[in-house]
C-alpha cells in the first residue's frame, strides 16, 4: 500500500497558469490536475494521495475548499486551506462545510508564519478540532518567505501547540537540512520525505540517519507532485536499504495510522 502525502492540485482551468507562475525556480513534471494526478498514481502504483489546495488570500479560502472538497474520496484525501485574514470561526466553517479532512499550510505562498500569533491561533483551533496539518517547512523563496517557515520557529510552535497533528514537509527543513536536523528531527511531528526536484539528490546515509533518529514510524512518503515524479521518489525511498517494516510504514502505513484513513478494500 502506498499513500502520497503531498500532491498539489488546481482546477483544470487554472492549473497551467498557476504552475507557470511558481516562483521557486522548479519546473513542474506533471500538469497539476486531478485527472493528471490519477494517471500518475496509476502508473506509479499509488493507492491514495493527499490532494492539497492553498489559498493565497482570505477571499479565496471558501472557493478553494469547495474545489478540494469535491475530490473523489476513493483515491484522494482532501487537504484544504485556511488564512489569517479570516477569523478562526470563518476558517473552520470553510473546512467543515466542505468535508475537508486536513489543512495545507504553505509558508512560502501564504502570509502565514509559525511565529505569528494569528497563525498560531488558527492552528490551536485546528488542534482542538483534531484537524491535521501538513506544513511547508524550510526555504525555497526569498529571505522573508523562508523566515516564516524556519525550522526553529516550527520547534517553538510545536512546544506551544503540542496536540497539533502536524506533518512537517521536506524532512522538516527544505534546503536547510542542517537546521532541520537541529530543530525538527526528534520533535512531536511526522516528517515527510519530499525534496524537489528529487530526494534522490540527498545523501542516502544522511537520510537513513534522520529517519532512524526521528523514528521511522513517524516518517511519511510525499512526492510534492506535480513538481517531482512520484515513481522516482518511491524508488529513492526503496533504495535507502531500510528494513521492510520501516519502508512499508513510510510508504503508506504510517500516514494511514496518523490520519486514521479508511482504506479501500484490497489496498
The per-residue pLDDT for range 98-150, each reduced to its tens digit, is: 999 999 999 998 989 999 999 999 999 999 999 999 999 999 989 999 999 99
Can you tell me the mean pLDDT for 153-164? Answer: 98
Predicted local confidence at residue 205, as pLDDT: 98
pLDDT of the residue at 262: 81
* Nearest alpha-carbon partner for 220 in 149, 154, 171, 151: 171
Q: Where is pLDDT greater, at 12 or 158?
A: 158
Starting at the earlier edge strand, list the strands of the sheet with 190-192.
3-8, 48-52, 76-80, 102-105, 133-135, 166-168, 190-192, 219-220
> What's the confidence (pLDDT) of residue 28?
84
- 8-state DSSP, 171: G
Inter-residue contact 24 to 8 (CB < 8 Å)? no
Which of the four pLDDT bands, split at 50, 70 and 90, describes residue 226?
very high
> Where on the phi/psi map is residue 175: left (φ > 0), alpha (ψ -120 to 50), or beta?
left
User: Measuring CA to CA, how many Å separate 132 from each of 50, 113, 143?
Assistant: 12, 17, 27
Cell of 111: 502570509
Which domains can be identified in the chain, with CATH numbers? 3-259 (3.20.20.140)
Q: For position 267, what pLDDT does the model report? A: 44
Alpha-carbon distances, residue 204 vs 166, 177, 240 (angstroms): 25, 13, 6
- How many beta carbons lie within 10 A of that of residue 148, not counting itself? 21
Amino acid at each position: 500500500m502506498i499513500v502520497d502525502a503531498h500532491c498539489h492540485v488546481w482546477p483544470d482551468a487554472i492549473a497551467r497558469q498557476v504552475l507557470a507562475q511558481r516562483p521557486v525556480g522548479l519546473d513542474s513534471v506533471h500538469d497539476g490536475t486531478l485527472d493528471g494526478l490519477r494517471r500518475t498514481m496509476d502508473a506509479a502504483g499509488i493507492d491514495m494521495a493527499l490532494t492539497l489546495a492553498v489559498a493565497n488570500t482570505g477571499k479565496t479560502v471558501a472557493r478553494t475548499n469547495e474545489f478540494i472538497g469535491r475530490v473523489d474520496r476513493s483515491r484522494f484525501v482532501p487537504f484544504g486551506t485556511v488564512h489569517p485574514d479570516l477569523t478562526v470561526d470563518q476558517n473552520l466553517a470553510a473546512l467543515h462545510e466542505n468535508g475537508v479532512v486536513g489543512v495545507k499550510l504553505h509558508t512560502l505562498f501564504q502570509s502565514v508564519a509559525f511565529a505569528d500569533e494569528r497563525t498560531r491561533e488558527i492552528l490551536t483551533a485546528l488542534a482542538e478540532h483534531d484537524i491535521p496539518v501538513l506544513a511547508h517547512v524550510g526555504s525555497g523563496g526569498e529571505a522573508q518567505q523562508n523566515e516564516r517557515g524556519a525550522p526553529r520557529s516550527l520547534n517553538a510552535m510545536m512546544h506551544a501547540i503540542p496536540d497539533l497533528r502536524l506533518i512537517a514537509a521536506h524532512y522538516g527543513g527544505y534546503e536547510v537540512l542542517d537546521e532541520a536536523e537541529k530543530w525538527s528531527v526528534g520533535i512531536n511531528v511526522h516528517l515527510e520525505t519530499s525534496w524537489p526536484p528529487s530526494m534522490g539528490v540527498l545523501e542516502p546515509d544522511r537520510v537513513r540517519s534522520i529517519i532512524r533518529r526521528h523514528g521511522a514510524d513517524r516518517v511519511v512518503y510525499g512526492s510534492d507532485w506535480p513538481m517531482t515524479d512520484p515513481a522516482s521518489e518511491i524508488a529513492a525511498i526503496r533504495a535507502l536499504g531500510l528494513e521492510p517494516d520501516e519502508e512499508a510504514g513510510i510508504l503508506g502505513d504510517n500516514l494511514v495510522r496518523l490520519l486514521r484513513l479508511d482504506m479501500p478494500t484490497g489496498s
